[in-house]
């Protein structure tokens, strides 16, 4: 049985117990939220070494980090290092988006390199296998697509992005709808091009019941992809995005009826004043399915700083109900991220998630309370101990001037400590 089915029978699974203890939450409340489909648990039945993670209502906002090779750069060791660095700095899951090299071996190697849940986009592999044969991506057969999905499920991936909302009807709308940026989802683009070429329905939509059967067998969480997410601020909230969203809402309900765990992916690029409304609309349209957002990125004119633009959007999205933040690195829109980009992207996303989590969980707020106490007493050792990025803490502290080199700075700090000690009645 899936986690959803067991929860509906009143069973608190081992995974629920683990998550309850790890997050400091009530196991019975978690079970009820899983039973409703408002929370999902990542843990493929074949991925027995993974530490399960919950996303959705009643649990902390989580962060995902994307890694993966490209056709031009196939360095598996580098991707393993990225995965480990991402987990070190707080990524709750890793998505392997590799498109170059031996994709099966890369995926399996990454899965064994870390103990967090792994997500993938199977259509990427189906497409790359066509290119490897010297064929066009649109020459994929339905069988090619399904083989990729089954292979990923059997390998133990915990959640997969399936662009099931890119339907023939929506693709027809694309012909009549003007967009500034167009379609930016890689997987969504593959399927849209396939539909246009063959004049056939999206196989994942047409045979959705079969997709549910496969997901149920392995208890894979279906992440219903936003193939029509806005790739620029002018496209946010347009007809195409909304049409796909309401399709995904219907598919969420069908998945729940089948006992399959499901979440929904969200935008992309959204003006800051639209984020709250878009998140709340998505929650209504999908009956409170866990909502997984990329960013959202709140401005388009800061390439090189999109980890920051995404963190701003992510914090607002999470505050208004988003459950899962996909990190964005400084290399977004520019190229393949390196290890340092991954570190910066994870930290930015963790800041956004923690800023919201501390308003919901007393334990999270207490960390900030203790840091405030340490700062008030200029207790550098304690500040270091509480810091989320200790390497950066040391790096900055080493750069500070000494007391003799900058007595005015030190004097200011000493004055701060002095007045605080006086107010606390601790002056000697």
Residues making up the annotated binding site for substrate are 66, 95, 124, 163, 185-187, 226-229, 265, 292
Cβ–Cβ under 8 Å, residues 30 and 59? yes
Alpha carbon distance 87, 77 (integer Å): 16
Q: Which residues carry a binding-site annotation for Zn(2+)?
A: 269, 333
> To the nearest 10°, the Cα dihedral for 32, 35, 36, 37?
120
Say how far residue 66 (Cα) sits from the centre of its chain. Answer: 8
66 burial (CB, 10 Å; 0-12 / 13-18 / 19+) is: buried
Both tokens of 84, joined, read 């480990």
Alpha carbon distance 325, 317 (integer Å): 9
**Segment holding 95, helix H or strand E:** strand 93-96
Q: Which residues carry a binding-site annotation?
A: 66, 95, 124, 163, 185-187, 226-229, 265, 269, 292, 333, 407, 410, 414
The pairing of strands 324-326 and 159-162 is unpaired
Q: At what angle do helices 103-113 and 122-132 cross, to 10 degrees?
A: 150
Residue 269 has phi, psi (to 5 degrees) of -105, 120
156 burial (CB, 10 Å; 0-12 / 13-18 / 19+) is: buried
Q: Return the residue matching tokens 């995904």.
A: 248
Alpha carbon distance 267, 276 (integer Å): 12
Q: How distant, in Å, are the alpha carbons of 211, 377, 412 from that of 380? A: 54, 9, 16
Alpha carbon distance 222, 343 (integer Å): 27
Nearest Cα to Cα of residue 74 among 41, 47, 99, 42: 99
Q: Which residues carry a binding-site annotation for [4Fe-4S] cluster?
A: 407, 410, 414
Alpha carbon distance 26, 33 (integer Å): 11
Q: Return the residue matching tokens 């196939």.
A: 74
């Amino acid at each position: 049985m899936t986690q959803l089915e067991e929860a509906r029978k009143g069973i608190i699974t081992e995974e629920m117990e683990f998550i309850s203890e790890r997050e400091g939450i009530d196991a019975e409340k978690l079970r009820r939220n899983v039973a409703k489909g408002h929370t999902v648990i990542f843990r493929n039945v074949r991925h027995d070494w993974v530490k399960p993670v919950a996303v959705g209502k009643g649990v902390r906002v989580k962060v995902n980090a994307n890694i993966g090779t490209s056709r031009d750069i196939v360095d598996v060791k580098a991707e393993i290092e990225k995965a480990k660095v991402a987990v070190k700095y707080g990524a709750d899951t890793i998505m392997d988006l590799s498109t170059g090299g031996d994709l099966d071996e890369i995926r399996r190697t990454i899965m064994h390199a870390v103990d967090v849940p792994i997500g993938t986009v199977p259509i990427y592999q189906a497409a790359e296998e066509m290119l490897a044969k010297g064929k066009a991506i649109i020459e994929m057969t339905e069988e090619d697509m399904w083989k990729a999905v089954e292979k990923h499920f059997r390998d133990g991936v915990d959640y997969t992005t399936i662009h099931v909302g890119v339907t023939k009807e929506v693709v027809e709308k694309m012909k009549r709808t003007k967009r500034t940026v167009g379609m930016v989802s890689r997987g969504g683009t593959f399927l849209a091009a396939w539909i246009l070429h063959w004049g056939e329905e999206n196989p994942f939509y047409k045979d959705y019941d079969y997709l549910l059967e496969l997901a149920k067998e392995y208890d894979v969480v279906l992440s219903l992809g936003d193939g029509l997410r806005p790739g620029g601020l002018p496209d946010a909230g347009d007809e195409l995005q909304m049409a796909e969203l309401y399709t995904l809402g219907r598919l969420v309900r069908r998945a729940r009826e089948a006992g399959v765990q499901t979440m929904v992916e969200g935008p992309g690029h959204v003006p800051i004043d639209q984020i709250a409304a878009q998140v709340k609309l998505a929650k209504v349209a999908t009956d409170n399915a866990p909502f997984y957002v990329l960013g959202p990125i709140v401005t388009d004119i800061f390439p090189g700083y999109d980890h920051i633009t995404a963190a701003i959007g992510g914090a607002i999205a999470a505050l208004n109900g988003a459950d899962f933040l996909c990190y964005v690195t400084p290399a977004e829109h520019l190229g393949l991220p390196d290890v340092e980009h991954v570190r910066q992207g994870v930290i930015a996303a963790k800041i956004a998630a923690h800023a919201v989590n501390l308003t919901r969980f007393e334990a999270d707020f207490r960390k900030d309370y203790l840091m405030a106490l340490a700062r008030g007493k200029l207790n550098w050792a304690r500040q270091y101990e509480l810091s989320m990025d200790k390497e950066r803490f040391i790096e900055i502290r080493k750069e500070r001037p000494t007391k003799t080199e900058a007595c005015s700075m030190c004097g200011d700090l000493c004055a701060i400590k002095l007045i605080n000690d006086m107010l606390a009645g601790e002056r000697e």
